[in-house]
């Protein structure tokens, strides 16, 4: 938890910013438990989005690797990293859907988190060594609810020392692991809603909260800062991403349920499910052919200025683009194959 269209051929690892951010996986995987790809498998897989319920202890990159091996898909990526200890909704994008990752990152996410009070850790989660700060026994539910509301709206948030945020060109977690812990500069994030679901009082108090937020928000930082606000310290325990835009944990799938490529294909959702709301235009066959070649086309009725999504005659997503108000045309920017 916080895009160029560059894809590396099989056997060469891409180091593009898009690849690092969205979890694209290339080259031979490290896992040996799955059978090697047959040459006949290395064909284009179906385009779409798989709503995965990531298990605890597995990295988001490992999920992508396993699905790429299982399906033989040429392009697989995820839309937003979940920490290894976290569970819940991880959108995995296949083939042309990977081109929409930057739009998916703009969708709101919902988390349920257990915040442990009375202690802090260097990692701001349960992986670090516990250091006692204050006794939370006297805290009441109203105290926690009141403090939590100060972390809603557009706020300045300092990412954890152990995070992927860059400090002087280096990843903060690399500096921290190398004995140079540093706090990345605060940055603006948006928290749409934060509410207390449950509060267990006592010397090891735990506040269970639900947070709906925008991209780049660290729940570890909210846990740390809430504990600091209450004067007793705090760190993040269990974390579940329960929703990512329209994707919910209730309609997700666990990796162990997917034993063959067809099982993945049957679970794929249309690529447009990860797009925010924007005006749609319908293309006829001739217009579709032009758009697929990257050419602007005039569409009727004339769309309003702004971002647009273009669909073919059967309603399938063809491209994303914008309106050219001077020429009154739809200008394609990202074309799905």
pLDDT digits (tens, 9 = 90+) for 230-276: 999 999 999 999 999 999 999 999 999 999 999 999 999 999 999 88
- Is residue 257 a part of any domain in this protein? yes
Instruction: Answer whether residue 329 is part of any domain.
Output: yes
CATH value at residue 255: 3.30.70
Active-site option among 5, 41, 53, 83:
83
Annotation says 83 is catalytic = yes
207 & 224 share domain: yes
The pLDDT value given to residue 43: 52
In terms of domains, do 137 and 87 share one? Answer: no
Residues 113 and 231 in one domain: yes
Q: Does residue 301 have a cis bond before it (omega within 30 degrees)?
A: yes
46 and 153 housed in the same domain: no
For residue 292, is it within any domain? yes
Within-domain flag for 226? yes
Question: Looking at the domain assignment, is residue 2 inside a domain?
Answer: no
Q: Which residues contact 310 (CB under 8 A, 6 or more apart)?
A: 280, 281, 282, 283, 291, 299, 317, 318, 319, 320, 321, 330, 332
- Check whether residue 114 and residue 224 sit in a common domain: yes
CATH code, 327: 2.30.130.10
Same domain (yes/no): 125, 197: yes
CA distances from 294 to 16, 226, 324, 336 (A): 23, 49, 14, 11
Residue 7: inside a domain: no
Read off the CATH number of the domain in which 197 is found.
3.30.2350.10
Counting the structural domains of the chain, the total is 3
Whether the Cβ atoms of residue 63 and residue 76 lie closer than 8 Å to each other? no
What tens digit of pLDDT does each residue of 78-120 get? Answer: 998 898 999 999 999 999 999 999 888 889 999 999 999 999 9
Q: Does residue 222 sit in the same domain as residue 186? A: yes
Question: Are 80 and 109 in contact, with CB atoms under 8 Å apart?
Answer: yes
Residues 186 and 264 in one domain: no
Inside any domain, residue 9: no
Kindly state whether residues 219 and 134 are assigned to the same domain: yes
Task: Say if residue 128 is in the same domain as residue 231.
Answer: yes
> Can you give the pLDDT at residue 174?
76
Task: Examine residue 74 and state whether it is found in any structural domain, yes or no.
Answer: yes
Residue stretches of the chain with pLDDT short of 50: 1-42
| pLDDT for position 20 | 42
- The answer to whether the CB of 309 falls within 8 A of the CB of 272 is yes
**Nearest C-alpha neighbor of 298 from the set 316, 321, 275, 268:** 321
Per the CB < 8 A criterion, the answer to whether 111 and 222 are in contact is no
Domain of 284 in residue numbering reads as 279-335
* 168 and 225 part of one domain: yes
Considering the domain architecture, whether residues 237 and 251 belong to the same structural domain is answered as: no
pLDDT at 163: 76
**For residue 5, what pLDDT is reported?**
34
User: In this predicted structure, what is the pLDDT of residue 13?
Assistant: 41
């Amino acid at each position: 938890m916080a895009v160029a269209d560059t894809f590396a051929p099989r056997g060469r690892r891409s180091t593009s910013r898009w690849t690092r951010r969205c979890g694209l996986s290339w080259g031979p995987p490290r896992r040996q438990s799955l059978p090697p790809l047959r040459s006949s498998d290395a064909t284009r897989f179906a385009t779409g989005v798989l709503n995965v319920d990531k298990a605890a202890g597995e990295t988001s990159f490992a999920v992508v690797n396993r699905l790429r091996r299982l399906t033989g898909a040429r392009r697989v990526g995820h839309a937003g990293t979940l920490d290894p200890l976290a569970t819940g909704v991880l959108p995995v994008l296949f083939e042309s859907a990977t081109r929409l990752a930057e739009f998916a990152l703009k969708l709101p996410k919902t988390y349920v988190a257990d915040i442990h009070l009375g202690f802090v850790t260097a990692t701001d989660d349960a992986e670090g060594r516990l250091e006692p700060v204050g006794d939370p026994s006297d805290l009441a539910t109203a105290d926690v609810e009141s403090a939590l509301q100060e972390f809603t709206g557009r706020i300045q948030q300092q990412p954890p020392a152990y995070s992927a945020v860059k400090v002087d060109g280096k990843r903060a977690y690399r500096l921290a692991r190398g004995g140079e812990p540093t706090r990345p500069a605060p940055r603006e994030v948006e928290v749409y809603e934060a509410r207390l679901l449950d509060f267990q009082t006592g010397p090891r108090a735990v506040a269970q909260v639900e947070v709906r937020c925008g991209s780049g928000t660290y729940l570890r930082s909210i846990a740390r800062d809430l504990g600091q606000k209450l004067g007793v310290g705090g760190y993040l325990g269990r974390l579940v991403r329960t929703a990512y835009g329209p994707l919910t944990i209730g309609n997700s799938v666990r990796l162990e349920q997917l034993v063959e490529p067809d099982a993945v294909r049957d679970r794929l959702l249309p690529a447009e499910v990860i797009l925010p709301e924007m005006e749609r235009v319908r293309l006829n066959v001739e217009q579709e052919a032009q758009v697929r070649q990257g050419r602007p086309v005039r569409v009727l009725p004339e769309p309003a200025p702004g971002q647009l999504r273009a669909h073919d005659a059967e309603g399938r997503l063809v491209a994303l683009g914008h309106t050219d108000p001077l020429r009154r045309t739809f200008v394609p920017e990202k074309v799905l194959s």
